[in-house]
Every structure is written in structure tokens, then in C-alpha cells.
Amino acid sequence: MTYYLHRAVAIALCALAAGCASMSENQCRATNWYNQGENDGLLGLQARIDQYAYQCAKYQIQPAEKDYL
């Protein structure tokens, strides 16, 4: 349980540090959209799939909305 809490805190800190940084092509391709949605939810963020879709569109990559939500 503690491992997952530490992992969630680490992810939260990374997300806060990244702010509105755009995603690279590799990030768009490699992101596990289910985990990303879960992590965003743990952080208390509203769904950001539209932002991810906009950022990944320049690489012709569409995030898996059904997995994210």
C-alpha cells in the first residue's frame, strides 16, 4: 500500500513540475491512457483528454479516450 502511495505522490510531483508542458511524440505513443486518466483523477484534476489529444494531434496520434475515462 505504501508503495502505491509513494508512486502516486511521485507522479503528482512530476505532473505539477511539468505543468502545461507539451507531450513529445514518444510520450504520445507510449502513454498508458488508462493509467494517465487514473493519475489525473488521483490528483483531483478534471479530465484532460482534450488537452492530450490537441498535443498529440501534431504527430497524428489520437489518445485512447475510452481508456483514459
**In this predicted model, what pLDDT tens digit does every residue of 4-28 receive, in sequence order?**
777 777 776 666 555 556 889 999 9
Q: How far is CA 26 from the centre of its chain?
A: 13
Q: What pLDDT score was predicted for residue 24?
A: 93
Q: What is the mean pLDDT of residues 19-43?
A: 89
pTM exceeds 0.85, yes or no: no
Q: Extract long-range pairs of 15-24: CB within 8 Å, 24+ residues apart.
A: 15/39, 15/40, 15/43, 15/45, 22/55, 23/52, 23/55, 23/56
